[in-house]
Amino acid sequence: MAHGDLNRKIENYIGDIPSLPVSVSKVMEICNKTYSRPSDLNRVISLDPVLTGRLLKLINSAYYGLGTHVTSLVKAITMLGINTVKNLALSSAILSTLPINKKVHGLDMEGYWRHCLCTGVTSKFLAEKQGIDPRYQEEYFTAGLLHDIGKIPLNAVLSGEYLQAVTAADSEQKPLFEAENETFGINHSLAGKMIAGAWKLERPVTDVITYHHEIDGYSGNNMSIICNVAIANYFALVYEVGFSGDKKPVKPGKNIWKVVGIKEDSFEVLKEKIYSEIDKAKIFLRLS
């Protein structure tokens, strides 16, 4: 199939993806205002019983380990913080919109989401190590969770051909995004950018999705989070947590490690802590 025909199929697939729920869009709008209060979010979220349930389920999970059971939505919003609520609403809505357990030829979706979850958890952990303001650490998790979102339309449109790309990447010892370019004329970063545009995702998350494999081509203001997710993605691939189709990970360049402020040989020390956090964060894959 010609690359142009495939691109149209991908565009049609993305065009058919349901919009994010109105309640999630309202949450994003409120959280992006300079002065937002938990009561503002409570008025929106309380009208969406599904989102309310996800929020209460998360705050009472081991992921936060509060040791007390929270039943009040306002209290949950206050304890989690506005930015965390925003990112929870976004990530849970996306996970409920896109397939999680569906198995098709190219990628096993359970393995795919485990890889994404590991990348998100590792990215947040590295943000904490960097001293990133706790109010923004959840954005690092969300960016890591969604960094490979473009693989879903590629895998869904032509799963058999996507399996060929995965196989070629393995047999020819090349990164998957290069095999995607050769097979389809488009890679998962560009497909992900299309999804980010359709959903109007925030710029840091969109930039991570678009540039996590091509950081040298980036000149914007979100270099820190992109480098962070690139290293987190490398961790997930090296330690084979889940599987996203890439058996030949490209080690991030030295400048990327410098931006994040982590040594290249420090993963072994961090591994146990990260694995523990991944186990707790599995709640995200059960929120939808």
- Give the pLDDT confidence of 196-251 residue by residue, as tens digits: 998 989 999 999 999 999 999 999 999 999 999 999 999 999 999 998 888 888 89
**Phi-psi category of 46—alpha, beta or left, where left has phi over 0 and alpha has psi -120 to 50?**
alpha
Pull the structure tokens for residue 231: 């290293």
- pTM here? 0.90
Listed in order, strand segments (DSSP E) in 59-104 are none
79 and 107 share a domain?
no
23 and 91 share a domain?
yes
Mean pLDDT of the chain: 88
48 and 150 share a domain?
no
Chain segment 80-100, per-residue pLDDT in tens: 888 888 888 888 888 877 776
Q: pLDDT grade, residue 63 (50/70/90)?
A: confident
Report whether pLDDT(2) > 80. Answer: no
Total domain count, the chain: 2
261 and 143 share a domain?
yes
133 and 273 share a domain?
yes
Pull the structure tokens for residue 134: 């706790």
Domain membership of residue 228 as a residue range: 3-17+101-286
Strand-pair partners of 108? 103
Chain segment 154-180, per-residue pLDDT in tens: 888 877 788 888 888 889 989 999 999
- Please report how many Cα atoms fall inside a 13 Å half-sphere around the Cα of residue 100, on the Cβ side: 17
Q: What is the CATH number of the domain that holds 181?
A: 1.10.3210.10
- Domain edge (last residue) among 97, 132, 152: 97
69 and 128 share a domain?
no
52 and 142 share a domain?
no
Whole-angstrom Cα distance, residue 148 to residue 189?
A: 7
Across the range 123-147, mean pLDDT stands at 92
Chain segment 8-59, per-residue pLDDT in tens: 888 888 888 888 888 888 998 898 887 888 889 999 999 999 889 888 988 8
- Domain edge (last residue) among 97, 128, 163: 97
Contact in structure between 45 and 51 (CB atoms under 8 Å) = yes
Please give the C-alpha separations between residue 258 and each of 32, 105, 118, in angstroms, as whole numbers. Answer: 30, 38, 22
Which range among 144-148, 263-267, 269-273 has the greatest average pLDDT? 144-148
DSSP 135: H
77 and 154 share a domain?
no
Q: pLDDT grade, residue 105 (50/70/90)?
A: low
160 and 266 share a domain?
yes
110 and 8 share a domain?
yes
181 and 67 share a domain?
no
By 3-state DSSP, what share of the chain in percent is helix, strand and coil, each rounded to 5? 70, 0, 30
- Domain edge (last residue) among 48, 82, 97: 97
80 and 151 share a domain?
no
